[in-house]
Amino acid sequence: MTEPGRGRGPRCRRAAFWSSALLLLGVTVVIAFRACDADGITPVPQALAFLPWLLVPAGLAFGLAVPARWRTGMVWAVVLLCATGWYARPYGPGTTGARGPVVAELRVLTANVEFGGATDALIGTLGRDRPDVVFVEECDFDCADALAARVPHTTYPYREVVRLDGSLGSAILSRFPLRPADRIDGRMAMPGAVATVAGRDVRLQLAHPLPPVPGGVDDWSEELGRVRDFAAGTRGERTVLAGDFNASQDHAAFRAVLDAGGLHDSARIAGAYRAYSWPADRTTPLRTQIDHVLVSDHFSVRSARFRHLAGTDHRALLVELSLHTG
């Protein structure tokens, strides 16, 4: 007869070994794509959105490798913990490089109102925060009608609105004079305009590429590629590129947008690079920042604050900028 408890030690060690190995393999795949500056295929892009949380399975794998007496696994886990911490750092320089005197100060707000559900909250925010330029994503017919009827044209006399239903519609509202500019092609509207600010042209562009849902990663990558091409075409020009990018700094496709246009993420400059913007309508530790205001070297960033809007799964982003002569 087998004595009670006999053989449990080896079985537990084997279970700890295999559990640790599986965790390490999963984290390694994601970190390998990050190291290669690529987004990969599902589920890698989805996992990259929450890259700092890879510290949890890597740490758990280390904890399991100890009772398994697996020294290789312990070292492997430590390497992954260090790599994850390294890649979780803010991407890009800490300043924009703006030079010369300030010729204008402006506030920029971007808000995804989720099929128009947060339109009332957005209108309230406009009254309280008084942004100078507003980018609105997922502005459906009701949203467009509400902005036309309830947001005074004396406050925002210049507008570029694309009237489409559901998540497809978008709008740019401005206190500054606007003239038309080319849009970025996409399933969801991405309008553009040129604003005249203190006698200087500033290219405004709304970004709202498709999300990287399973089965739709190729479309997401293609549309973010178009945003990257736009950014590359405005390098050296005064530019504000804002909206719901459906990508974080941990996605290669988003970093390519920054690098192509020499643009800067306002939240990163303001020290809020890990503040979440999505999802904001439920309690979950898995949150990420996919709403951004990107600016050229002509601007300095005074602040970046995320605002809760009832009725949407995104937080709005309000950025205070200074426009310089250089």
pTM, entire model:
0.94
Q: Which domain holds residue 75?
A: 8-87
User: In terms of domains, do 35 and 78 share one?
Assistant: yes
- Residue 9: the pLDDT is 77
User: In terms of domains, do 59 and 168 share one?
Assistant: no
Give the residue from 52, 87, 122 where a domain finishes.
87
Number of structural domains (the chain) is: 2
User: CA 88 from chain center: how many Å?
Assistant: 14
24-71 residue pLDDT tens: 999 999 999 999 999 999 999 999 999 999 999 999 999 999 999 999
Is 138 a member of any domain? yes
User: In terms of domains, do 174 and 265 share one?
Assistant: yes
User: In terms of domains, do 219 and 178 share one?
Assistant: yes
Give the residue from 87, 118, 151 where a domain finishes.
87
Is 92 a member of any domain? no
Shortest CA distance to 115 belongs to which of 208, 205, 50, 206?
208
Domain CATH for 196: 3.60.10.10
CA distance 139 to 169: 5
Give the residue from 54, 87, 120 where a domain finishes.
87
User: In terms of domains, do 149 and 175 share one?
Assistant: yes
User: In terms of domains, do 75 and 145 share one?
Assistant: no
Is 163 a member of any domain? yes
98-155 residue pLDDT tens: 999 999 999 999 999 999 999 999 999 999 999 999 999 999 999 999 999 999 999 9
Q: Are 293 and 304 in contact (CB under 8 A)?
A: yes
